[in-house]
Structures are given as C-alpha cells and as structure tokens.
Amino acid sequence: MGCNPLKKKKVEDTMVALFTFGELEIGVLTLIFLLPVLAAFPTWLIGRVRNDFSKYFALIISSIVMLLAILAWMMFENNSLLPASLHADRTLLATGGWSLTEDIAWIASIGMNYSLGVDGLSLPLVMLGGFIFVVAILASFNDINEREPAYYAMILLLETGVIGTFVATDFIVFFVAWELVLVPMFFLIGIWGGPKREYAAIYFFIYTHVASLFLLLGIIGMWLQTATTDAMVLTGLSSGTFSFQQMTYLAQNLVGGFGIELPVLLIFLALLFGFIVKVPSVPFHTWLPLAHVEAPTPGSMILAGLLLKMGGYGIMRMSGWFLPEALSEFAWLVAIIGLVSLLYGSWVALRQVDMKSLVAYSSVGHMGIILLGVATQTEAGFAAAMYMMIAHGIISPLMFFVAGTIGHSADTRDIPKLKGIAKQMPITAAVLVFGSFASAGLPGLAGFWSELLAFIALFSMEATMTIPVIGLTITGSAIALIGALGIIFTAAYYLWMLQRTVFGDVNPELKHAHDVSHLPQYLTLGLLCLFTLLLGLFPAFLIDLMSTASGFFASMF
Amino acid sequence: MALIFGDLAFLIPTVPIVGAFIALFFGKFLDKKNHGNLVALIGLGTSFVLTLLVSGEVVLRLLFEGHVDTPFLEEEIIHENLIQWFNVGDITVNFGILVDPLSAVISLMVAFVALLVAIYSRSYMSHDGSPRYYAEISLFAAAMLGLCFSPNFIQLFLFWELMGVCSYLLIGYFYDKEVVPEGQPHPASASKKAFLTTKVGDVFLFIGIILLYIETLNAGHPTFNFLEIQHLLHDGLIHTDPTLFVVIALLIFGGAVGKSAQFPLHVWLPDAMAGPTTVSCLIHSATMVKAGIFLIARSYFLFEHDLMHAAGDAMLVVALIGGITAILAGTIALVQTDIKGILAFSTISQLGYMTIGLGVGGMAVAVFHVINHGIFKALLFLSAGSVIHGSGTQDIREMGGLQSKMPHTWKVMLIGSLSLAGIGNGFFSKDAIILHAINRFIESGNMLLLLVWLSSVITAFLTAFYIFRMWFLVFPGKSRKPEHHAHESDSWMTIPLWSLAIVSLVLAGIYLIGNIPVLNIELLPILNIEHQLVTWLEPEVSLVIENSLIVMTQFSSIIIALLGIGLAYLIFYPRSDAHVSFTKDDPSFLIEVTESDSITNIQKPLRSLTRTIKLSPLGRGLQRILEKGYYIDDLYLALVKFVDTKYCAGMYWIERNVFDKAVRFVGQIGFAVCGVSKWWDEHIVDGLVRLTAQVSVAVCSLAKATDERVIDHGIIRGSAKRVMLTGSRLRRIQTGVVENYALYTLVGAITLILVMIVINGV
C-alpha cells in the first residue's frame, strides 16, 4: 500500500489542530507547565474516592507531561516526523534567543509578562524533569503508603514548580516557580519523611527561603539595571523589564554589557548566592544531607535529580545570558567554590554512615563540576556543566532509589550494619554497583563525559582568574590538577561503601531483607539504568541538543 | 590494497560483549548445568575465529608481502574505520576500529588465551561458576580486544576502565568467602584495592591524554587519534616545551604503571589472586596487565619523539621503573609459599622486563615478550589452577609428589617453567630485552642504564631459581599431605593446558628455525620473528647491534638460566620424603637433612649452608623484609588509614562542628533576634499600648467620675435639687394672702421703675 498523500495531509492537519493550540495562543510549554498544577487538586479529589486512584492518575498526568516534553523536543529539533507547521522557529537560538516562545502581557507597566520558552540549555532539563517525575511517581508506588491522595497532589504541584523554573523566560514567572517548589517539598519532607522530618523540613525551608530572598533582591537589581536610560532606549520600553529576552539583548548590545560596576557585581553576588544554596555548594550545603536523609525516597530522587539542577541552571543562565562580564570578574570565586565542593564533598562522603547521606555528599562533589565548567567560560566547560546536570540528574535518583530500597527492605541504611546484601538482594546490589561506577565517572556511562570535558576545559582555559585584594592568580590547570584528586576520592568512597555493603558474608540480622519484586520498582531501576547507559554511549544526542546554547555561551566571553 | 577482512574487526570485541549480556540475563536457561559456559565459549570462540581472520591476514601479509618503507606504520596494512562520536567546539571524538600490526599481534594472543580460559573454566568452575562469572570474563576479554583495536585515546580509555571494572568484579568474585587463608586478603578488599590502585594510575593517564590533546589543539589539529598525533609529531607541527612533553609522556606512562603493576603501584597484583585462578590467568597473561604495556607501545611515538628531540628522559624513567620492578618482584617471589603468589610476583617481574624493553628503545621486543609471556604465563597459571584443583591447597609446602598423580599437569608446567626461566619461547624475547638494555647502555653511556641491565640479568637468574624452587617443591618427591588425595583434572582442563604447551613449544621451534641463538644462524630468515616484529612495529628504527654482543648476551643468558635451575635443583630437589608439616614460624623453609634422603654430596653442605644463612639474624631479617614485600604495602596502608581516620574524619568534624554549627549559629542569632523582638514587643510596644490603655482608662475613669460626680450629681441632679429647693422655698411665698401679693406687686413695680430710671441714665 503506497502512501496516500491525501490521507497523509489529513493526518498532518489533525496533528496540527491538536498541538498548535493556535486559537488560544497556548503553546505546548504552557501545557507542560500548568497541566500538573491543574491536575493536583483532582488527584487529591479522586484519591478521596479510592486511595489507589490518585497514584495512577498522577502517573498518567506525569506521563502526559513527559510525552509533551518529548513533543516539545521534536518541535524544537524540527523533527521530520512532525508536520512543518509544528516546527519551532530556531532562528534566534544562535544569538541567545528562545524557541517555542509564548508571551502574554501580565503587568505591562513594570515590564512583567507571562512568557515561556526553551533553548538548548533549558530543553534538556525540561525533558529530564518530565522523565524524573514519572520515575519518582513509579518509585512512590511501593514506598508511600499513607495519605496517598495528598502526597501525589504535592508531587504534581512540585512538578509545575520545577518545570516552570526551566521554561520561564521572565524573571517573575521564574521566581514564582522557584518559590513554588519550596512548599510541596516542605510538606513532602515534613509529612512523609523520616524520624527527624519536621526539623529537616523547617531547616530546608528556612535555609532555601533565605537564599530566595537574596535571589529576589538580585532580580529587582536586574530590573533596575534594565530601567536605565541607555537600556530603555535599546529596549524601547518605558520601564525596566523582567524579560530574559530583553536582558540578553541588553547584555549583547549595551556597550560593555551590564558592565562590572559595583551594583552589577553585587547583583551577581546576590543571584549567585541564591543559586548556590540550591546547587548546593560548600559552604552552603548543610541542608542537603539532612533533607536527603529525612525525605522519603521519591522526594530524595526529585531533590537530587531536579531541585539541585535549578541552582545549576540559574548559574548557567545568569552567567552566560545576562552577566558574562561579572562572571569573568568572579570566575575565581566560582572556580574555587567548585573545586572546594568537589574535594570537600568527596572527603566527607568517605566518612558517612548513612548511605543516603553518602550519596548526598557525592552530589555536593559532583555539582562542583558544574561550577568549574561555568568558571572556564568556554564551550567545553559549558558542555561539561550541562552534561553533568543531566547525567547527575539520572544517576543520583538511581542511587537514592537503591539506597531507599535497601533501607526499606533491610530496615537500615547504615553502612556498617549492612553486609553481604549481594546474597539477599542480588538485583539491588547489582544496580548499586552499576550506579556507583556510573557516579564515579566510568567511561561508557553517563558520568564520564562531563568529567572529560570539564578537565579539557580547565586545562585549555586561557582566561586567567585573579583573586582581588591578595592578587593571587590561579590558572585552570592548577584547579584541574588539584581537582583530579577528587576522581580518586570519589572512586574510593564508592568502592569502600560497596565493599562494606554489597560484599562480604550476609549479616544474620538482614536475613529478612528481600529484593525488589514489584513491576514499578523494576521499571524505575530499568529506566534509570538504561538512560545512564544510553547517555554514556551516545553523548552526541545531548551535546547536539545543547550545541546552540553552548556555542552562544562561549560567544559571550 | 585494503584488508580483506578489515571490516569484520569491529565484531571482534562486539561479539563477546553481546555474549556477556546474553550470559548474564539468559545464562540461567542456556547450558544450565555449566552456568552458561556455552555462551562464553561461543562468544569468545567466534571472536577468536574473527581475530584469526583479521589479524591473521595482517600478520601473514606482513610476513609474505614484504613492506613498503613509509615513515609510519605500513599504511597498506592499516585499516581504520571512524565515525564521529560527538563534537563540541574544537573537540571531536571518534569511535572506530584501528587494525595495524601492533593490534593484530596482541589481539591474536589475547583472543587465543581468552578462549582457552573459557574452555578451562567449564570444568574448573563447575562448582563455583555462575552466569555472572561467564558474563564478566567475556566482557573482560572483550575490553582487552576493544582496547587493542582502539583508534584513539578516548576509546582506549573507555575499554581501559571497563577492564578495570571487570577485574574488580572478577577479583571479588568470591565476595562471600567467610574464611580466607592466612596472609591473604579478603576478595572484597582485594578487588577494591586493585581498582583503586589502578585508578591512581588512570588519573595520571587521564590528565596525560588531555594535556596531549591540548598540545594538538595548540598545533592547530585538535585530535585524540593515534595516527593523527603521530603524523603531527612527525611533521614537526607540535612545538611543545620538551619538559612538558616529558611530563605528558610520563603521565601516560603513569597509567601503565598502575595497570601493568609497576613499582610503586604494583601492590594490587599479588592481592588479585583472591579471585578464581582462571581470572588470575586472564589478568596476568592476556588482559589487564598487558594493557599498560600495550598503551606505551601504542603511544611509543611520544617517547621516541622525546628521545629524538630532547634528552630522552621519559624513556630513561621508564627503563628505571622497569628495572626496579623486575628485581623487586623477583626477590619477593623467592620467599612466597603460595603457588599463585609465586606466579603473581613473577608476572610483576616479567612486566618489569617488558617495561625495561620499552625504556631502552626496544618497543618491538617488549611486544614480543608480551606475546611469549602471555602464552607461558597462561600455561603456568592454568597449570597452577589444575594443581590447586587436584591437590586442594595453594600452599606449596603442603604439596610435593604430585608428579605421579597429575601426569599431564607436571609436564605442561615443566614446559611453562622452563619457558619462564629462559629456556623455550620465553628465551628469545627476554634475551632480546637484555640485549637491548646493554646495547642502549653502550650507546648512551648512562650509568643508570647499566644498573637497569644489571637488574635484568640478576632477575633472569632469580626467575630461573624461584620458578624451579616451586616446581621442585610441587611435583617430585612424595606428598607431604597425603590425606589430600590429589588427582588429575579432566580433559576440559588438560586440553587447554596442552594447547598452550604445544603453542609454547611450536613458537620456540619457529623462533629457533628463524634464528638459532649463540650460533646466530638463520635457517629461515622469514621466521626470525624478533626481527620481523621490529620491522613491523618500528620501521623507522635501524638498530645495529654488534654480533659479538649478541652472541655474548645469548650465551650468558642460557648459562644464567641453567645456573638458576641448577641451584634450585641442588637446594630443593628432591624434597625429603619425611612427612613433615611446615610451621609458619620456621623461616628456613628447609627440612632437616636425614640419612634417608637421597641427596648427593654437593647438596648436603649446600643445604646446611642455606639453612645457616636463613637462620642467621640477617637472613631472618631479609626474609621478613621480602615476605613483607619491602613494607610497601604497609606504607600505603598507613597512608590510607591516615587519610581515612585522620584527614577525612577531620573534614567530617569540620562539617559537623563548623559548617553545620555555623548554620545553627545563624539560626540561633535569628532566634535571638526574634527573642529580642518578642521582648521588645511584649515589654516596650505592648507596654506602651497598655500605658496608652491605662491612660485612656484613667481618662475614662476621670470622665466617668466627672460624669458621675460633676455632671450627674452636680449639674443634673443638682439642678433638679435646686429647682426643688427653690420650689420649696418659693412655696413659702405662695401664702394665698392677697395683701401680701399686692405688696409684692408694688415692690416689683417700684423696682422696675428704679431699674428703668437707672438704665435710661437719669
């Protein structure tokens, strides 16, 4: 049967009608952004009818969001499977613009719009977000047994916040989404968490909320920067603006960008602080191990997989798109924070007793690579940071899920109490070994490429970093040579953990421990392992997807 | 003309990788009785056949077609397939296959040994086997094959690390072992040690690769590909500071030091015997440790470049490390009592030889030794496995007299031991390395190289001695533990053994036909493999060695080997037939000489002398040092302990007591501020409010009082009273007497008139 052109046309028309949402001026991003929050209350409601309904409903909603994210990706990539009318406009991407944009005036008098968009930096994160939420909901099936309706409603609310942070192209929308994340996370830790959950929840909330305050100050500062006469001439607006697009335009077209005057530097520092607490980097990381240890396992997965990425995303967006000059000025600071996080995280991880806490500190270390990559101000460095975000976004949920499963099954996550679980829980143990090696940067798995690119970027870094006041100049090579120690320590704490938990003779107290046995658990493990492997074997997929963004990032310096 | 089978090369590593996954997931169902051995057999067998086709073609064509004098590896023989893996900015990484003489030669040996190990495992691992085991050895072999055919540093590094992981999993295969023999590490701990020790080297390699890449970037041709870098170097496009170049070469060598167990990172290899013997065999002969030597051979252009354009310091360091390793491990092997331990240290020592070869400009002879060592060490390890399998012990003190019980094993092990000692196929390569060492010393006049040569000669003697000490203790005489009931292994094990033994003999025969040592006669020059390898691998090198030097070296090598074997014979053969159990405390490791021993006149005084020496304080001390492996292990252990319990623990202390406390402190300040606010609120603000309220109340009270007392009582009620009072007063006036009224009227009228008069102002 040949391809009937008429029939094909009809199919295309239907697709266009389904997905352009043209009349309403609602794009696919709005759907991705708002669908979860709109579904949150119904989830709770039908959960009141029967507990089970809520989880299936949440799974369906999050799957739809993931499919929409894939659709967005296909539109973004101008995939040939889609009709041409659905193809996104990619012309602006190379100059730091966004694609699939939506723009609705909100409070026009102060330049505040409801505007969304994706580019090479945010789209991979949106897809990661869609994926991790599906996996986290699957992981919740066997883990969460009380107050399910409320739990799944919270998860969906969280999804809106997380994805909103990535798709927002207006600082106010961004900030609203950023703050929205705190509320459901607070309840997730505080209600479904471990023994010290209330303390952890409050610690988490207050800490990150204080950081948000600085973030808000920074945002207002940015607005003031766009409200200068020069800037308003360029933007053609009668006030300042919160629009990312406009800020990028100004960063490119103002003479010397936003410059490196004191106010701009202070804005940079305020934003940096706001983001770094979320990343988190030493010395602002103490909330993370606590939150991870106390959070329910799916909460940990989302926390490590996505919430940390919000901080990384913020840093990359701010330093490449808005304030490149300030980054050049503060590259030393970013690099040192990154280096210290990398080493310190792995040192402390070596001494951890709780497996979740160990993985949490390893996250601190790995996120240091992001800062190092950004500090190099090169394309390779950006690619390294981005690859780390996605790779860590898949590997750390895997590790947390395994740690959570072990904790659930063996009643303890304390490394000295676990022994020989390879006998009792062969699949879990195998995945733990796999995940540990992936996290330690084994070539062929996702973690390696960012390590490679980061070190290439550092060694080939031409820009010098001079610490003011003391006048010390540090080079990328020096940072890299010290940072290489981190690779050894990372391997060391993982292998030592494996030796004490997976191997050895079975601890008689763990005889009752049982392996994963439910379909959702298999799916969770399988999906996460699969993508760890795929990202390791086919790096070009991700690197090509973000190539416009990485090219633009490098062009700003 | 391109290679006929070149396009099949990518299948060589791919087939066993696929086989590994099949074995892992479906091994339970396929070949159930043997834990999925069949899958590994098919995978590795296919791989071996493919290797024969691809690499065999390369070797045959090299042998018979002659070669073109191009400045690089013969371009005709090279087959390179590349696809782009990814690209970001300047960085392009390719994935593909590179078939060249070096990869062809090594891959043949690797595929052959791996297949034999898989066959051997069928019987050896019949009790302890599992699908996991076969998956891992398939992957292990595949990683080595993939490494051989890697066209660039990144892909090589990928397989390099994959091999590390496989070795980690395989060394720790018996992870649930409850009791480990005394003096041996637990498999779980040994595997960790192996991975971490090699990881230290890997980090050096990783940095070296990146630095080299950056040099190519500076040269305008950023690349990771071996051939391209070689061209860049040859064309003089890379203008690097010679010192930096030495650093890069040595960083890459650092990777080899880890993987190939060179001093000071050799400590993992002896512990690696915690895994099954078959795994040790793979690690020691075909994969893993050979990867390091292969890496240096692959990136040899760096060292040659350094040699040609600078002082050649990189090569000197390589040679020195090789020399130290060879003699260090050779001496430690003298006091080992574990059969696998002896072989492990002998591997380290032999790897030292290969490194010496690389360090003295004989890359081809090093590769030659890789091949020969691969064959005879596989033979030795598999024989040792057979011995362990048959006798049920690993301790050579508990063996003895196995000759009669293991009719196949003793023969093949003798062939292997002879080869290792320097008589057999091992002779040709080892001798060539020694020859290159002395030749290099004569050329350069560097005294350090003399030491390297000396080390290689002494080690040759030690090797012959310790391997025959082992052989004499294991096979001849009578059993020292007759209750063990040793038996010969079945044919799944003996066939691979004989295959290896025959290959070893055939190789020796071929080499012999090619070039009869000492006499220096080439019966069939085409079979002079050493010479052939030099022309294949290093076409640029034209090394002319004086004939007399060759003859001298070969002659002395044979003498030294015979001396070593002879000494071992005199001291250890035949063991006493008394049933003596050795005690660990007895360092002499020699049994009292009794009359019943059939020993000759020379042996008796020699044994007494040895015993005296060993029992003297100096001898005991030396023995102790050797048994402890020069305390290098203990040193590292102390360092690791320090880092763990002091440094990292200190960091964790900082974490809890500085960072966490700081946050809490800030929190407490917050609370304190809140407390102050509360106090302010309660006492000041609230006070003010209350004060206001009180004032208001007071005012209100006052108002009330005013209201009550003044207005109510005073004015309102007062007015009323007054009215009443006035009324009652006025009542009195109302008398009802008309005269009185008339009087009042009159008084009133007069008053009015008076008032009017006054007002009108009279």
- My answer on whether omega of the bond before B482 falls inside 30° of 0, hence cis, is no
Mutate to test the interface with B, among A196, A199, A203, A347 (most CBs of B within 10 A): A347
Would you call B192 and A502 a contact, using CB atoms and an 8 Å cutoff? no
Helices marked H in A113-261 — which ranges? 122-143, 148-167, 171-192, 197-226, 229-235, 244-253
Mean pLDDT of B13-32: 87
So what's the pLDDT on residue B149?
92
Contacts of A543 in chain B (CB under 8 A): 86-88
Distance CA B535, CA A515 (A): 58
Higher pLDDT among residues B369 and B577, named by residue: B369
Backbone angles phi, psi at B267, to 5 degrees: -65, -20
Q: Is B741 on the interface with A (CB under 8 A)?
A: no
Q: Which residues on adjacent β-strands are paired with residue B97?
A: B81
Give whichever of A108-112, A212-216, B238-242, B407-411 has the largest mean pLDDT.
Answer: A212-216
Q: Find the closest chain B residue to A387 by CA distance.
A: B88
pLDDT digit string, tens, across residues A377-423: 999 999 999 999 999 999 999 999 999 999 888 888 888 888 888 88
Q: Is B636 on the interface with A (CB under 8 A)?
A: no
The encoded tokens of residue B306 equal 């350094």
Q: Find the closest chain B residue to A358 by CA distance.
A: B652
Which of B140, B85, B401, B555 has its CA nearest to residue A544? B85
3-state secondary structure of B71: coil
Q: Is B161 on the interface with A (CB under 8 A)?
A: yes
pLDDT higher than 60, residue B566: yes
Q: Is B736 on the interface with A (CB under 8 A)?
A: no
pLDDT higher than 80, residue B583: no
Q: Hey, how many other C-beta atoms are within 10 angstroms of the C-beta on B182? A: 7
pLDDT digit string, tens, across residues A258-312: 888 899 999 999 999 999 999 889 888 889 998 999 999 999 999 999 999 999 9
Distance CA A526, CA A398 (A): 10
Q: Is B516 on the interface with A (CB under 8 A)?
A: no
Question: For chain B, what percentages of helix, strand and coil (3-state, to nearest 5) are there?
Answer: 75, 5, 25
Q: Is A206 on the interface with B (CB under 8 A)?
A: yes
So what's the pLDDT on residue B248?
92
CA A547 to chain centre: 18
3-state secondary structure of B475: coil
pLDDT higher than 50, residue B614: yes
A99, containing H or E segment: strand A99-107
Which of A270, A360, A356, A277 has its CA nearest to residue A312? A277
Q: Is B172 on the interface with A (CB under 8 A)?
A: yes
Mean pLDDT of A34-46: 92
Q: Find the closest chain B residue to A433 by CA distance.
A: B169
B456 contacts B326 by C-beta, under 8 angstroms: yes
Q: Hey, how many other C-beta atoms are within 10 angstroms of the C-beta on A347? A: 26
Q: Hey, how many other C-beta atoms are within 10 angstroms of the C-beta on B66? A: 10
The C-alpha torsion from B14 through B15 and B16 to B22, rounded to 10°, is 110
So what's the pLDDT on residue B575?
52
Which pLDDT band, with edges at 50, 70 and 90, does A12 fall under?
low
The encoded tokens of residue B56 equal 């065999």
Residues 6+ positions from B500 with CB-CB distance below 8 Å: B113, B116, B375, B376, B378, B379, B382, B412, B416
Distance CA B591, CA A313 (A): 74
pLDDT digit string, tens, across residues B468-522: 988 888 888 777 776 667 778 888 888 889 999 999 999 999 888 888 877 777 7
The encoded tokens of residue B668 equal 């407490």
Instruction: Give B345 to chain A, closest Cα distance, Å.
Output: 25
pLDDT higher than 50, residue B235: yes
pLDDT higher than 90, residue A135: yes
* High-pLDDT (> 90) share of chain B, %: 31
The encoded tokens of residue A294 equal 């106390």
Would you call A351 and B667 a contact, using CB atoms and an 8 Å cutoff? no
A373 contacts A269 by C-beta, under 8 angstroms: no
Q: Which residues on adjacent β-strands are paired with residue A113?
A: A105
B465 contacts B564 by C-beta, under 8 angstroms: yes
The encoded tokens of residue A523 equal 């799916």
A428 contacts A516 by C-beta, under 8 angstroms: yes
Distance CA A176, CA B601 (A): 97
Instruction: Provide the angle, in degrees to the nearest 10, between the axes of the packed helices A28-49 and A122-143.
Output: 10
Contacts of A547 in chain B (CB under 8 A): 88
Q: Find the closest chain A residue to B650 by CA distance.
A: A348
Distance CA A441, CA A391 (A): 10
Q: Hey, how many other C-beta atoms are within 10 angstroms of the C-beta on B699? A: 10
Mean pLDDT check: name the lowest of B5-9, B115-119, B540-544, B675-679.
B540-544
Mutate to test the interface with A, among B24, B84, B85, B88 (most CBs of A within 10 A): B88
Instruction: Give A486 to chain B, closest Cα distance, Å.
Output: 10
Q: How far, in Å, are A140, A202, A303, B491 from residue A309 at the CA level?
A: 21, 21, 9, 59
Q: Find the closest chain A residue to B660 by CA distance.
A: A286
pLDDT higher than 80, residue B598: no
Q: What does A361-418 look like in DSSP terms, one character per residue?
A: HHHHHHHHHHHHHHHHTSHHHHHHHHHHHHHHHHHHHHHHHHHHHHHHHHS--BGGG-
Distance CA B680, CA B657 (A): 32
The encoded tokens of residue B507 equal 């190789």
Q: Is B451 on the interface with A (CB under 8 A)?
A: no
A339 contacts A368 by C-beta, under 8 angstroms: yes
Residue type, A87: H
Distance CA B446, CA B697 (A): 108
The encoded tokens of residue A337 equal 């924070």
pLDDT digit string, tens, across residues A47-67: 888 888 898 999 999 999 999
Q: Is A459 on the interface with B (CB under 8 A)?
A: yes
So what's the pLDDT on residue A2?
45
Q: Is B644 on the interface with A (CB under 8 A)?
A: yes
3-state secondary structure of A151: helix
pLDDT higher than 90, residue B737: no
3-state secondary structure of B185: coil
The encoded tokens of residue A413 equal 């996550």
Nearest to B172 among A449, A452, A503 (CB): A503
Contacts of A345 in chain B (CB under 8 A): none
The encoded tokens of residue A48 equal 């009141």
Higher pLDDT among residues B263 and A506, named by residue: B263
3-state secondary structure of B287: coil
Distance CA A42, CA A18 (A): 23
The encoded tokens of residue B321 equal 């490390």
Would you call A379 and B203 a contact, using CB atoms and an 8 Å cutoff? no
Q: Hey, how many other C-beta atoms are within 10 angstroms of the C-beta on B748? A: 10
The encoded tokens of residue A211 equal 């950081």
Distance CA B648, CA B254 (A): 26
A378 contacts A409 by C-beta, under 8 angstroms: no
Residues 6+ positions from A194 with CB-CB distance below 8 Å: A200, A293, A294, A295
Backbone angles phi, psi at B510, to 5 degrees: -60, -45
Mutate to test the interface with B, among A458, A495, A505, A544 (most CBs of B within 10 A): A495
pLDDT higher than 50, residue B581: no
Q: What does B327-357 look like in DSSP terms, one character per residue?
A: HHHHHHHTT--BHHHHHHHHHHHHHHHHHHH
Instruction: Give A350 to chain B, closest Cα distance, Å.
Output: 7
In which region does residue B392 sit, left (phi positive, over 0), alpha (psi from -120 to 50) or beta (all else)?
left
Mean model confidence pLDDT for chain A: 89
What number of C-beta contacts closer than 8 Å exist between A and B? 136
Instruction: Give A362 to chain B, closest Cα distance, Å.
Output: 13
Distance CA A60, CA A36 (A): 10
3-state secondary structure of B362: coil
Would you call A495 and B192 a contact, using CB atoms and an 8 Å cutoff? yes
pLDDT higher than 50, residue B563: yes
Mutate to test the interface with B, among A287, A452, A506 (most CBs of B within 10 A): A452
pLDDT higher than 50, residue A90: yes
B390, containing H or E segment: helix B363-391
Contacts of B178 in chain A (CB under 8 A): 505
So what's the pLDDT on residue B579?
45
The encoded tokens of residue A11 equal 């199919």
Backbone angles phi, psi at A170, to 5 degrees: -135, 135
The encoded tokens of residue B635 equal 């040193």
Q: Find the closest chain A residue to B211 by CA distance.
A: A459
Would you call A540 and B659 a contact, using CB atoms and an 8 Å cutoff? no
Q: Which residue is associated with the tokens 């252990």?
A: B637
Distance CA B687, CA B491 (A): 101
What is residue A8's DSSP assignment?
A: H
Instruction: Give B370 to chain A, closest Cα distance, Å.
Output: 26
Mean pLDDT of B454-458: 92
Nearest to B86 among A283, A496, A540 (CB): A540
3-state secondary structure of B91: strand
Distance CA B310, CA B316 (A): 12
The encoded tokens of residue B298 equal 């692959």
3-state secondary structure of B733: helix
Mean pLDDT of A476-492: 91
Instruction: Give A282 to chain B, closest Cα distance, Å.
Output: 9
Mean model confidence pLDDT for chain B: 85
Which pLDDT band, with edges at 50, 70 and 90, does A468 fall under?
confident
pLDDT digit string, tens, across residues B296-322: 999 998 888 888 777 778 889 999 999
So what's the pLDDT on residue B2?
67
Q: Enumerate the domain spans of chain B.
A: 1-151, 574-627, 635-736
Residues 6+ positions from B422 with CB-CB distance below 8 Å: B430, B431, B460, B463, B464, B557, B558, B560, B561
Which pLDDT band, with edges at 50, 70 and 90, does B71 fall under?
very low
So what's the pLDDT on residue B528?
80
Interface of A with B in 347-366 (CB under 8 A): 347-348, 350-352
Give whichever of B24-28, B107-111, B527-531 has the largest mean pLDDT.
Answer: B107-111
B398, containing H or E segment: none
Q: Is A491 on the interface with B (CB under 8 A)?
A: yes
